[in-house]
């Protein structure tokens, strides 16, 4: 099953981890999943399973967010916006 064209993926990390990771990947509107299985496959193709784990909000990757974004861009996704929040 292909990922719908309007899929929104959020890639997030704590500011101190911006260059080291870990990074959380999650999406919205996914019945019975926090992230589509197809997106998990994209991550598995780019990162070893040892670097990926289940997280209460989605999938956690040991790599920094730039690497995760690059993996999704390589798979055909584009970045529509970025934001930074303190706290």
Question: Domain segments of the chain: what residues?
Answer: 9-74
Whose CA is closest to 74, among 36, 47, 37? 47
Q: Which helix (H) or strand (E) holds 10?
A: strand 9-12
Tell me: the pLDDT tens digits for 30-66? 666 678 888 999 999 999 999 999 998 889 999 999 9
CA dihedral 18, 19, 22, 24 (to 10 degrees): 40
Cα Rg, the chain, nearest whole Å: 12
| DSSP sequence for 65-79 | HHHHHHHHHHTT---
**Higher local confidence (pLDDT), 71 or 36:** 71
Percent of the chain with pLDDT over 70: 84
Q: Which two tokens stand for residue 9?
A: 């993926």
Sheet with 52-55, side-by-side order of all strands: 9-12, 23-27, 58-61, 52-55
């Amino acid at each position: 099953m292909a990922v719908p064209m309007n899929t929104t993926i959020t890639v997030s990390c704590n500011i101190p981890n911006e260059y080291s990771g870990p990074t959380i990947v999650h999406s919205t509107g996914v019945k019975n999943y926090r992230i589509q299985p197809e997106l998990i496959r994209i991550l598995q193709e780019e990162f070893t399973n040892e670097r990926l784990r289940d997280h209460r909000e989605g999938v956690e990757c040991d790599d920094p967010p730039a690497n995760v974004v690059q993996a999704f861009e390589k798979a055909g996704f584009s970045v529509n916006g970025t934001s930074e929040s303190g706290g």
